Structure 1
Amino acid sequence: MPKKPVATNKLSSKPLNKRAKKLPEAEARQPLLTARRNARMARSAHAYVRGSTNRFYEWLDGIEGHALPEGPAVWICGDCHTGNLGPVADAHGRVEIQIRDLDQTVIGNPAHDLIRLGLSLATAARGSDLPGVTTVQMMEALADGYERAFDESAGEADIHAEKPEAVRVVMKEAVRRSWRHLAEERIEDSEPTIPLGSRFWPLAKNERREIDEFFRKTSVATLATVLRGAGDEADVEVLDAAYWVKGCSSLGRLRYAVLLDIDGAAVDGDDLCLIDIKEAAPAAAPRYAGARMPRDNAERVVEGARHLSPLLGDRMKSARLADRAVVIRELLPQDMKLTIEQLTRDEATKAARFLALVVGKAHARQMDVAERKAWLGELRKNRSKTLDAPGWLWKSIVELVSSHAAGYLEHCRRYATGPDAG
């Protein structure tokens, strides 16, 4: 009987099962992931905001003398900070700025998304050493951009003309990206293997076996084949897989990167597929009482994505792996994170207005004409002479910035001396 050939990289002679040394085994991951998450949150106040979703809702609920309007019952992001917005693409290459992370999505109060986005922008402004008056202007721009999504008479030309430079740059890059860009960014190599190191850790034998079996299911494999028009009968082979050390607030959940070959011809990016498998955990964002949502957390995430970010939602599936609810999606080259860290005064207001419009559109597409009109009326009520933004929005941002600043310093005291800090 002939000896079975060793699987090799089709672009080189390197064995696919080559593994780096001294990386954590599966049973040793959790303490390391927890330490890494805490260290990442200590790097900046903005990073702390991104990683403290649970605390955000605790603080918001605890603000005294504070009453938020009850907006229409729609799917909300639930964790609407600037890092969770960015370019996403559909199967035909169309690219738009949409919400790109829906772990916390629920049917809830759209005001929560607006406040979370405002807090994220206000924290970025503080990190950019901008004066307080700029934060005031940002909140006015935030309100203006969001309201435009519900105003039938508002034009959008001026909004798009005033895209912040960070958005212009990332959109230009997104539309010209290819598989090679994706591979070099995500796996630091354009060859069909996943190099182990600080970002990717080895799998246990049972994990790799479960992933191989997982992609033998037609319902799972078609996620990759349909996007390519390959049909349900196309062969899907797992070339490589690894535990993915990715995210901040989600760091520590089940997360795998899986490299697939479609129809056995992995000679270029058209035949390769990089899949993200992510465990779906219960949402911290409060849902409206009586709202009918899927009980399975992965189904909830996919359903929310389809309402809020259709380009992304149509590329996602819910499933179960190792008896856990997971969301699977193919990563496309155009999917990028929008990074807004350092802002100028001009860019700060542009960013606030534009990103609020993106979120407003995601909410508005779920409302009928009457609901949009009523919500717009609520947003424009009780304006003061000194601030062209809802009073409840400003009060929430001021108190949350204060709470997060104190929480961040306390977090740094406890965790900023770890090995991953800095």
Structure 2
Amino acid sequence: MNDTANWEGRAHAGITIKDRRAAGKALRARTPRDALARWKPDPGRTDPLDILRAADATRRPDLLALRYGRMLASPFTFYRGSAGVMAADIGRSATSGLRVQACGDCHLLNFGGFATPERRIVMDINDLDETLPAPWEWDVQRLAASLVLAARSLGHSEQAARDAVEASVRSYRERMRAFSQTDVLDIWYARVDDSIAEQMLPPERREAFRKRIEKATRQNSSELVLPKLVDGFDTGEASIRDTPPTIFHVGDVATKDHLRRMQGPLAAYRETLAEDRRRLFDRFTLVDVAIKVVGIGSVGTNCFIGLFMSMAGKPLFLQMKEANVSVLEPFAGRSIYKNHGERVVQGLRMVQPATDIFLGWSRGEEGRQFYFRQLRDVKLRPLLESFDLETFRNYGILCGWALARAHAKSGDPWMISGYLGKGEEFDAAVARFAVTYADLAERDHAKLKAAVRAGHIPVQMES
């Protein structure tokens, strides 16, 4: 158990912020801050392809080739699809012993913009399929290594990659210290909004960013995606458009039969909503369901999109995404939730500054566990391929800011800040780790390429 778990109940028992910082600083004696710089892969390390194949057992066989095709594209895409491999690599390494509600797959493309219920745009972690209480260092390490791999994929120098990591970790450390000096309510309400993100951009990029925000917020999310996803809307016979291999209906099952089979899971999902959200949900009717392939790490898990219509003829798209055991669980302990969909939902509520009003969970056929949320609720993904070096570095700084807020909200910012201190020793240690791990990920990607060439792993490439 971590000290954070006991801190809440002792908050008014004479323990001061100074005490908490001192306790965090004392942890350096057990785990020095430069310990990460000395990290090396275990000589008896499990073959990464074996870890990936083991995870395939819970995935749809017809989508595995597409999953490996996406991972094959580059070392960075391999890294994005192999959170389980990294968890096995660092899951037994030395940490401070302090835990937070960890993201579990904290690479830089798992951050992005989305709308709050008040329709404000914020930037934060937006994918928490692997979330679990775990050491805060694991998220920092995964973010840092992703920065190195992404920098290499963009053609930036090794020094630029290392500088970007140090800037991101410095942002995390300094923001954590700021949170340790503020009131707990201020931590809870803190957020990286679009105005903060805009100020981090070079002046020549700000106008384009504002236009993206305006376009994303001009209409609701369902209206934005409607022309791309729906056939027959004008005729009153709306259905989700098949665009294989990423969106398709399930086999030859008749639509009416499939919709009938969804009623039980939907009823169970409804019970996980707050009463006011149930009233809102009841005003929509499910008219179609299809499979939608998302991301890289999630390819092969059952992910459905449901098209719902209101009485006024307005659409609502809900994503119903399968939730399996977190890749962190073998190293951080079992989830307290019986349904992994609830694990994800509660993690989202704990980590994000604001969450989707339709968040909930349910069970499907064969006991599969799912969580629900809106599809593309005014989401803005980072256009990484267009980033120059300054934008890339500043984006990493924003990620460090958002990660510190998430960890401060769910963990103990006083002890974490005390452990980190004011100097740059931890920043440099993480940068050294990030380069070491990025090199390892590149070797793992090469193993995948060799397995594909040898015909051991089939792949499906997309145009």
Does 1:334 pair with 2:378?
Answer: yes
- Which residue in the other structure is 2:293 paired with? 245
- Which residue in the other structure is 2:359 paired with? 316
What SS does structure 2 have at the residue aligned with 1:87?
strand
Aligned-pair CA distance for 1:149: 2.7
Partner amino acid, structure 1, of 2:239:
T
- Which residue in the other structure is 1:273 paired with? 316
Shift of the 141–55 alpha-carbon distance from structure 1 to 2, 3 Å rule, reads same
Aligned-pair CA distance for 1:286: 4.4
Shift of the 274–140 alpha-carbon distance from structure 1 to 2, 3 Å rule, reads same
Aligned-pair CA distance for 1:303: 0.6
More helix by share: 2
Structure 2, unpaired ranges of 5+? 1-58, 183-189
- Which residue in the other structure is 2:414 paired with? 373
Shift of the 419–159 alpha-carbon distance from structure 1 to 2, 3 Å rule, reads closer
Does 1:362 pair with 2:406?
Answer: yes
Alpha carbons 2:323, 2:371 under 8 Å: kept: yes
Shift of the 351–233 alpha-carbon distance from structure 1 to 2, 3 Å rule, reads closer
Shift of the 208–129 alpha-carbon distance from structure 1 to 2, 3 Å rule, reads farther
Shift of the 312–184 alpha-carbon distance from structure 1 to 2, 3 Å rule, reads farther
Partner amino acid, structure 1, of 2:438:
V
Which segment is superposed worse, 286-295 or 117-126?
286-295
Aligned-pair CA distance for 1:304: 0.3
Does 1:201 pair with 2:201?
Answer: no
Structure 2 distance, partners of 1:354, 1:382, is 20
Alpha carbons 2:255, 2:288 under 8 Å: kept: no
Shift of the 59–142 alpha-carbon distance from structure 1 to 2, 3 Å rule, reads same
Shift of the 96–382 alpha-carbon distance from structure 1 to 2, 3 Å rule, reads closer
What SS does structure 1 have at the residue aligned with 2:361?
strand
**Aligned to 2:306, which of 258, 264, 278?**
258
Shift of the 123–39 alpha-carbon distance from structure 1 to 2, 3 Å rule, reads same
Aligned-pair CA distance for 1:324: 1.2
Does 1:145 pair with 2:175?
Answer: no
What SS does structure 1 have at the residue aligned with 2:240?
coil
**Aligned to 2:216, which of 174, 185, 189?**
174
Structure 1 distance, partners of 2:65, 2:224, is 30
Which segment is superposed worse, 191-200 or 302-311?
191-200
Q: What percentage of residue pairs aligned between the two structures are identical?
A: 20
**Aligned to 1:55, which of 35, 60, 85?**
85
Structure 2 distance, partners of 1:353, 1:274, is 33
Which segment is superposed worse, 100-109 or 245-254?
245-254
Aligned-pair CA distance for 1:158: 7.8
Partner amino acid, structure 1, of 2:72:
A
Which segment is superposed worse, 236-245 or 315-324?
236-245
Aligned-pair CA distance for 1:401: 0.5
How large is the RMSD of aligned CA atoms in angstroms? 3.4
- Which residue in the other structure is 1:80 paired with? 106
What SS does structure 1 have at the residue aligned with 2:309?
strand
Alpha carbons 2:335, 2:343 under 8 Å: kept: no
Shift of the 219–260 alpha-carbon distance from structure 1 to 2, 3 Å rule, reads same
What SS does structure 2 have at the residue aligned with 1:299?
helix
Aligned-pair CA distance for 1:275: 1.0
Aligned-pair CA distance for 1:144: 1.9
1:11-50 matched pairs, under 5 angstroms: 30-50=60-80
Structure 2 distance, partners of 1:95, 1:189, is 31
Does 1:68 pair with 2:116?
Answer: no
TM-score by length of 1: 0.78
Partner amino acid, structure 1, of 2:303:
R
Deviations for 1:47-95, whole angstroms, at most 9, x for unmatched residues? 1111111111223347xxx633333x22111001122111122333122
Alpha carbons 2:117, 2:356 under 8 Å: kept: no
Structure 1, unpaired ranges of 5+? 1-28
What SS does structure 2 have at the residue aligned with 1:40?
helix
Shift of the 374–255 alpha-carbon distance from structure 1 to 2, 3 Å rule, reads same
Alpha carbons 2:175, 2:404 under 8 Å: kept: yes
TM-score by length of 2: 0.72
